[in-house]
Amino acid sequence: MEILTKYFADFTPTQLQQLQALEGLYKEWNEKINVISRKDIDSLYLKHVLHSLSIAAIFDFQPGMQVIDIGAGGGFPSVPLAIFFPEVQFHAVDSINKKLTVIQEVAAGAGIPNITTQHTRAEQITNRKFDVAVSRAVAPLKDLLSWSKHLLNKPSEVRKHFGAQATEDMEIPAGLICLKGGDLAQEIHDSGRKPFIWPINEIFPEEFFNEKFILQVK
């Protein structure tokens, strides 16, 4: 938990309780359904929670926004983001149903009401629209763009959530925002797009975040 309060100073008492609950819940459920590698579970707050919250360090999601987590796995980045943004609705989708069980149980145990799950592939969802799609290390950028394109509202629609405070130069969370690592040159080239890129080690100067990045394609 100390690694979180090192970089974020304004958690509410409720958020602190929810964040503190994650360790025990993930350790319990990871024994039943493996969603986090055994060597990483003891570094949950650095490698999973803080990594997910790097998105919150760049983007300010607004009340009423709808966010889809594509290939949500055990709930990263959606579970930490749902705690950070309690008035934003998160929808975690994955093709492996047992992983969604972990998200459901963790959310229930930690008292996180603003996250729902769906056992499906993102490309098969046809009846909903979202302001933002988030993803962590799921698939190449080209595929993520293909899967999410039909799900996303236009940036002009997303901007309405910001009302009078919206400015042209602010970082509006819209489109696809994903967490990726390593040499991304070929992957970006193959996508045919030029994403905005933020090195996470410039946000959180920890060795773990070297060569890890936030990418956004509006």
pLDDT tens digits, residue range 48-59?
Answer: 999 999 999 999
User: What's the rounded Cα separation, in Å, for the pair 147 and 129?
Assistant: 13
User: What's the rounded Cα separation, in Å, for the pair 198 and 117?
Assistant: 28
Mean pLDDT (whole number) for 117-121: 96
More confident residue, 66 or 154: 66
- The pLDDT of residue 160 is above 90: no
Mean pLDDT (whole number) for 79-91: 98
Q: Which domains does the chain have, with CATH numbers?
A: 2-161+169-217 (3.40.50.150)
Distance of alpha carbon 155 from the chain centroid: 18
Nearest to 212, CA basis, from 172, 184, 173: 184
How many residues can be counted in the chain? 218
Cα of first residue to Cα of last residue in the chain, in angstroms, is 33
- The pLDDT of residue 168 is above 70: no
Residues whose CB is less than 8 angstroms from the CB of residue 22 and which lie 6 or more positions away in sequence, other chains included: 44, 45, 49, 79, 80, 106, 110
Per DSSP, the three-state class of 2 is helix
pLDDT tens digits, residue range 96-112?
Answer: 999 999 999 999 999 99
pLDDT tens digits, residue range 7-44?
Answer: 999 999 999 999 999 999 999 998 888 888 887 888 99
For position 174, what pLDDT does the model report?
Answer: 86
Which residue ranges are tagged as binding site? 71, 76, 122-123, 136
Which residue ranges are tagged as binding site for S-adenosyl-L-methionine? 71, 76, 122-123, 136
Q: Are 79 and 115 in contact (CB under 8 A)?
A: yes
User: What's the rounded Cα separation, in Å, for the pair 178 and 122?
Assistant: 15
- The pLDDT of residue 117 is above 80: yes
